[in-house]
Amino acid sequence: MNGAESLVRSLLASGVDTCFANPGTSEMHFVAALDKVAGMRCVLGLAETVVTGCADGYARMTGRPAATLLHCGPGLANGTANVHNARRASTPMVNIVGDHATWHRPHDSPLTYDTEGLARTVSDWVRSSESSDRIGVDGAAAVQAAMTPPGRIATLILPADTAWSDGGRVADPLPVPQRSMVAPDTIRNVALALRRRERAVLVVSGQALGEEGLEAAQRVAHASGAMLKTSTQIPRMARGRGRVPVDRIPYAVDLAMRELGGVRHVVLVGARPPTGFFGYPEKPSLLAPSDAETHVLARPEEDAVAALHGLADELGAPARVGIPVGEVEPELHKGPFEPIAFATTLAALLPENCIVSEDAVTSGRALLAPTFNAAPHDWIQITGGAIGQGFPAATGAALACPDRKVVCLQADGAGMYTLQALWTQAREELDVVNVVFANRIYKILHGELLAVGARPGVASNELFDLARPELDWVHLANGMGVEAARVDRLEAFADAFRAACGRRGPFLIQFDI
């Protein structure tokens, strides 16, 4: 058995059974091993950032890593942006990066690259396999690293000769560390702070955004009067009727500071301290008042759900508390696109138990609050600010959950980064309704330019405008085998969306806004 075959068998033994790939010559023995060994589902992406974005969406929905298969340093580089997004979501991911044979590398042939140096910039764990008899255990170690809470990026570099040489050995799965429990003292100290009944906010992220974690957080809020918020970026959240409606801290620094104004206690539950996405002149990086105390209830790798229940018990909360409902009732609106009217309409249309993949940028700022009372659904979102995550993450989520409808809410500028994902949706006949917000501008940048006090001129118009020529998403989707329609009013959107949800397979709706 060669090294490549031992790696495929070891990955399967460790529970990795899906491989998103865009291989090249140095990965041919791995591909040959995939042919030989049954059980690994192989999914092609036509650009590497599609491959890694799919793996992110897949793992967010399954809780298990997919493997990616990438070709040398430049292949990894092409996929890096969505690995970065995954890393910021604490997504488990195992990247297999083929590379030159060890003895070929010193000759510096054209595709030679500092693959390991590149991998280190985006991974929590990096290893280069050194011999065919080590690849199996290296693969098992990569899965172990990826599954280490809260979820990590593991990148295994696979020199071609270690893949093709004999002597491969299949490795047993390695034990996966469990989430560590929060110390009782920590819980008591947070309870002590909250009992003062000063203005407090619980910032909840990661594991605690599941249905049970949110209910536990609601118990704490009920007993303490603390606000509940989630971080501005959402890895995955249980939402809709019957789930606790928790809004995110706004992206805009001024709005965020206003919402957190007067807060004396910031309690972090698997979340980082509320921080502005960017630094701006004369504005602080940290969004909470400078005299607020920060309490870490649970670090991202700790059991936040148990800690929340422990805190709620400590505060004397009842075992079950009422789940609040959102303020906005779902309703079909008419007329041209308007953010809240759209979100309210969408809330009326979202299918039961669907998955929403959101990379809607400016068009998405108002989506959360009006959809609290939609049918129950999961929401996954761009987490690292590297735009172009919506289509691929939707694609991976659809592969992970073939029985659930996926709704992709995609900004047009960001969508052009990874439009190739539509082809994978068509090839795999995935049940995704893609909604592209066609505002024909990098609108966020237009706003940011005004915010720095500049007046838009010739250059910024050249660099922000997407209207000249117009992007025709119906043609683009059709070119990749995805049916599509174009709408410019909410009532037409509702018709198109309902029709798309009523059939199987991918569909794209261009909403001219």
CB of 101 to a copy of itself, least distance (A): 4
- Exactly one of 56, 161, 303, 431 binds a copy of itself (CB under 8 A); that residue is 161
Query: If you count DSSP H runs as helices and E runs as strands, how many of each does the chain have, helices first?
Result: 19, 17
| Site for a copy of itself, residues 57 to 76, rule: CB under 8 A | 72-75
DSSP, residue by residue, 317-331: --SS-PPP--SS---
| Site for a copy of itself, residues 231 to 270, rule: CB under 8 A | 232-233
CB of 276 to a copy of itself, least distance (A): 6
- State the Cα–Cα distance between residues 144 and 483, nearest whole angstrom: 40
- Exactly one of 175, 322, 459, 502 binds a copy of itself (CB under 8 A); that residue is 459
Residues 6+ away with beta carbon under 8 Å from 455? none
Residue range at the interface with a copy of itself (CB under 8 A); choices 40-48, 60-68, 349-357, 359-367? 40-48
| Site for a copy of itself, residues 278 to 307, rule: CB under 8 A | 278-281, 285-286
User: What would the two tokens of residue 431 be?
Assistant: 């049940």
| Site for a copy of itself, residues 383 to 402, rule: CB under 8 A | 383-386, 388
User: Is the Cβ of residue 368 or residue 477 nearer to a copy of itself in the bound state?
Assistant: 477
User: Is the Cβ of residue 277 or residue 293 nearer to a copy of itself in the bound state?
Assistant: 277
x-or-dash string of contact with a copy of itself, 468-497, rule CB under 8 A: xxxxxxxxx-xxxx----------------
Q: Does 180 bind a copy of itself (CB under 8 A)?
A: no
Tell me how far CA of residue 304 lies from CA of 179, 208, 297, 344, 383, in angstroms. Answer: 9, 6, 8, 31, 20
Residue range at the interface with a copy of itself (CB under 8 A); choices 220-228, 313-321, 330-338, 419-427? 419-427
CB 356 within 8 A of CB 378: yes
User: What would the two tokens of residue 391 be?
Assistant: 């289509």
> What angle is formed at CA 369 by the lines to CA 366 and CA 375, rounded to 5 degrees?
115
- Exactly one of 13, 44, 181, 252 binds a copy of itself (CB under 8 A); that residue is 44
| Site for a copy of itself, residues 354 to 383, rule: CB under 8 A | 383
Q: Does 17 bind a copy of itself (CB under 8 A)?
A: no
Q: Does 36 bind a copy of itself (CB under 8 A)?
A: yes
Instruction: Report strand pairing: 93-99 vs 265-269.
Output: unpaired
CB of 288 to a copy of itself, least distance (A): 12
Q: Is 317 exposed, middle or buried (0-12, 13-18, 19+ CB in 10 A)?
A: buried
The count of residues interacting with a copy of itself (CB under 8 A) is 104
DSSP, residue by residue, 150-186: T--EEEEEEEHHHHHSB---PPPPPPPPPPBPPPHHH
User: Is the Cβ of residue 76 or residue 307 nearer to a copy of itself in the bound state?
Assistant: 76
Query: Is cis: bond before 318, omega within 30 of 0?
Result: no
CB 343 within 8 A of CB 370: yes
Place of tokens 């910021």: 88
Cβ atoms within 10 A of the Cβ of 195, count? 13
Q: Does 463 bind a copy of itself (CB under 8 A)?
A: yes
| Site for a copy of itself, residues 100 to 139, rule: CB under 8 A | 100-101, 103-104, 107-111, 113-114, 117-118, 120-122
- State the Cα–Cα distance between residues 232 and 251, nearest whole angstrom: 6
x-or-dash string of contact with a copy of itself, 427-456, rule CB under 8 A: x----------------xx--xx-xx-xxx
- Exactly one of 15, 35, 254, 293 binds a copy of itself (CB under 8 A); that residue is 35
Q: What share of the chain is helix, strand, coil (3-state, %, to 5)?
A: 40, 20, 40
User: Is the Cβ of residue 251 or residue 353 nearer to a copy of itself in the bound state?
Assistant: 251
> What angle is formed at CA 255 by the lines to CA 215 and CA 339, rounded to 5 degrees?
80
User: Is the Cβ of residue 40 or residue 223 nearer to a copy of itself in the bound state?
Assistant: 40
Q: Quick check: helix, strand or coil at residue 380?
A: strand
Query: Is cis: bond before 150, omega within 30 of 0?
Result: yes
Q: Does 276 bind a copy of itself (CB under 8 A)?
A: yes
Residue range at the interface with a copy of itself (CB under 8 A); choices 22-30, 124-132, 237-245, 358-366? 22-30
Which helix (DSSP H) or strand (DSSP E) does residue 128 occupy? strand 125-128
- Exactly one of 222, 264, 272, 498 binds a copy of itself (CB under 8 A); that residue is 272
User: Is the Cβ of residue 345 or residue 383 nearer to a copy of itself in the bound state?
Assistant: 383
User: Is the Cβ of residue 262 or residue 457 nearer to a copy of itself in the bound state?
Assistant: 457
- Exactly one of 128, 189, 353, 460 binds a copy of itself (CB under 8 A); that residue is 460
Strand partners, 268: 203, 296
User: Is the Cβ of residue 259 or residue 314 nearer to a copy of itself in the bound state?
Assistant: 259
Residue range at the interface with a copy of itself (CB under 8 A); choices 35-43, 143-151, 179-187, 352-360? 35-43
